[in-house]
């Protein structure tokens, strides 16, 4: 009964307000891909994505059943996130005790990081579910390597690898562990070899994506900063009243580890040792990858290790001799997770930027008296999110002149957070930035234009400039006055009125 209640709670936290936030840039790539014919989508994945194609294949079918709105597309991740709750319980029960399983399910249901990715149209929550199923099957195969159990483990592991390459952080330690336990067991060898062949089959795609997609920004961030960000496993990203939340979460984690050390019995410690071995093995593997030049270590890419790490904590909080301290500490940690989730909903600065509101103010098409209009996005090179909501936008090359009657500028006031990469409004100031961006400069209309209105939409300010007659301009003429901090030429878009 407790697991059913926790699953319902997890569903409530994930589906509530699921369409409240607009698509941010990473989700916009997903939305763009799933709109395409299936063959064309597969052709573009190596050029635009750095992950394998399974999630996009499922999302392609999903949107044709449930729609391509924010809620429709994200509902796939939300449902996957809900399904992870009972799987976490089963894994905890199998590996440790039923009590630890309930606490693992509670931590899964209320974890704000998992809730965030359950409301994002990307592959990360599917990665968590598949690696959780893999962990559950591993826990059973460790005791009795039956053919059916090993088949489930191999299939879940292979599907996890075709969802995200960093699934190998979970899969490889499990495979090594089983092979060490049963070195002469042929069915174990076959299952591990099947997973290995799947990984090898993905290698050409991974190499191609490494050459065509840009993930180099991750390695440019200080490693110490990225390791410090692993606290996001407990408190997610910019938590409201984050200092208090962070200390409560850290204190609860320390209590759980102390209870595991001092109040658990042999069986509980043994299960926790297995979980910690898997989590530590995956983490050490990620550090080993750094030494050979594969540096994509950020918290979202380590989500494959979330459940084994959570099971270690659940073993301590759920220890039989922990008394009321363990359950109370677990409830407190869950309460902080719910508080963070509700705090994000209450604060637009902590949510993803809502480009829908910008599109609504600008208008879907130019006014009847406007033949061509330009849209200038301050300090931002990614035009894709706005293009989703304003079909017909085109990139305006720097050297091309056009007769412009209307110019709409889009600026924003977002909190500066060092190395903000997760899609909240701080991401508007640039992914991975460690230094505060330049201050906003006052807008100077180009000759012949005058301002007719300026309006706010959440994080954005939209200013409309018009001229009485078309004025021939190029982007080079507009950028210095309207967007002096623009990252590059993608800051300018152009839209023609049909007819």
Kindly write down the DSSP assignment for every residue of 455-487, as one continuous string.
EEETTEEEEEEEEEEEEEE-HHHHHHHH-TT-S
Confidence of residue 135 (pLDDT cuts 50, 70, 90): very high
- pLDDT, tens digit, for every residue of 171-195? 999 999 999 999 999 999 999 999 9
In this predicted structure, the answer to whether residue 155 has a pLDDT above a threshold of 70 is yes
Average pLDDT, the chain: 90
- pLDDT, tens digit, for every residue of 284-311? 999 999 999 899 999 999 999 999 999 9
Q: Name the percent of the chain lying above pLDDT 70.
A: 93
Q: Which helix (H) or strand (E) holds 207?
A: helix 186-212
User: Residue 84 and residue 109: Cα distance in Å, rounded?
Assistant: 8
- Predicted pLDDT at 483: 63
- Predicted pLDDT at 484: 59
Q: What is the mean predicted confidence (pLDDT) over 209-220?
A: 82
User: Residue 313 and residue 10: Cα distance in Å, rounded?
Assistant: 19
Q: Which residue did the predictor score with more confidence, 412 or 102?
A: 102
Closest CA relative to residue 394, chosen from 430, 429, 367, 366: 366
- pLDDT, tens digit, for every residue of 326-368? 999 999 999 999 999 999 998 888 999 999 999 999 998 888 8
Contact (CB, 8 A) for 92 and 24: no
- Predicted pLDDT at 298: 94
In this predicted structure, the answer to whether residue 499 has a pLDDT above a threshold of 50 is no
What is the CA 32 to chain-centroid distance, rounded? 17
User: Residue 300 and residue 50: Cα distance in Å, rounded?
Assistant: 13
Confidence of residue 474 (pLDDT cuts 50, 70, 90): confident
Closest CA relative to residue 286, chosen from 300, 266, 274, 307: 300
Strand order in the sheet with 492-496: 394-395, 492-496, 372-377, 402-412, 460-473, 450-457
């Amino acid at each position: 009964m407790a697991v059913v209640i926790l699953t319902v709670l997890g569903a409530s936290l994930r589906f509530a307000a699921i369409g409240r936030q607009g698509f941010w840039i990473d989700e916009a790539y997903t939305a763009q891909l799933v709109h395409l014919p299936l063959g064309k989508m597969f052709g573009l994945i190596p050029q635009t994505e750095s992950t394998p194609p399974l999630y996009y294949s499922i999302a392609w079918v999903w949107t044709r059943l449930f729609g391509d709105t924010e809620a429709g597309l994200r509902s796939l991740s939300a449902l996957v996130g809900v399904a992870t709750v009972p799987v976490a319980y089963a894994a905890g029960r199998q590996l440790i005790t039923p009590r630890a399983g309930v606490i693992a399910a509670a931590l899964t249901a209320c974890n704000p990081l998992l809730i965030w990715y359950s409301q994002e149209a990307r592959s990360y929550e599917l990665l968590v579910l598949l690696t959780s199923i893999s962990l559950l099957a591993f826990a059973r195969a460790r005791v009795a390597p039956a053919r059916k159990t090993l088949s489930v483990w191999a299939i879940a592991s292979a599907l996890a690898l075709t969802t995200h390459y960093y699934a190998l952080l979970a899969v490889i330690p499990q495979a090594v562990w089983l092979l060490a336990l049963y070195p002469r067991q042929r069915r174990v060898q076959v299952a591990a070899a099947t997973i290995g062949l799947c990984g090898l089959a993905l290698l050409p795609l991974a190499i191609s994506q490494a050459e065509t997609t840009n993930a180099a920004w991750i390695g440019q961030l200080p490693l110490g900063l990225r390791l410090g960000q692993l606290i996001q496993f407990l408190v997610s990203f910019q938590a409201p009243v984050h200092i208090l939340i962070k200390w409560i979460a850290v204190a609860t984690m320390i209590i759980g580890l102390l209870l595991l050390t001092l109040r658990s019995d042999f069986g509980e410690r043994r299960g926790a040792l297995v979980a910690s071995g898997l989590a530590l093995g995956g983490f050490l593997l990620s550090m080993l990858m750094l030494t050979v030049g594969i540096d994509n270590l950020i918290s979202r890419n380590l989500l494959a290790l979330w459940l084994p790490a959570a099971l270690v904590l659940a073993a301590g909080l759920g220890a039989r001799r922990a008394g009321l301290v363990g359950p109370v500490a677990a409830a407190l940690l869950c309460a902080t997770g719910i508080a963070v989730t509700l705090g994000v909903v209450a604060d637009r600065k902590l949510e993803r930027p809502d480009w829908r509101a910008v599109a609504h103010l600008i208008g879907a098409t130019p006014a009847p008296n406007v033949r061509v209009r330009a849209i200038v996005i301050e300090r931002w090179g990614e035009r894709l999110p706005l293009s989703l909501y304003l079909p017909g936008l085109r990139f305006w090359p720097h050297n091309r002149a056009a007769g412009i009657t209307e110019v709409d500028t889009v600026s924003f006031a977002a909190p500066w957070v060092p190395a903000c990469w997760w899609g909240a409004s701080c991401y508007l100031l640039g992914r991975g930035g460690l230094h505060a961006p330049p201050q906003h400069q006052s807008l100077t209309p180009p000759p012949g234009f005058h301002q007719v209105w300026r309006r706010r939409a959440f994080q954005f300010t939209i200013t409309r400039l018009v001229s009485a007659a078309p004025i021939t301009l190029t982007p080079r003429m507009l950028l210095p006055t309207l967007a002096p901090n623009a990252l590059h030429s993608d800051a300018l878009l152009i839209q023609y009125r049909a007819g």
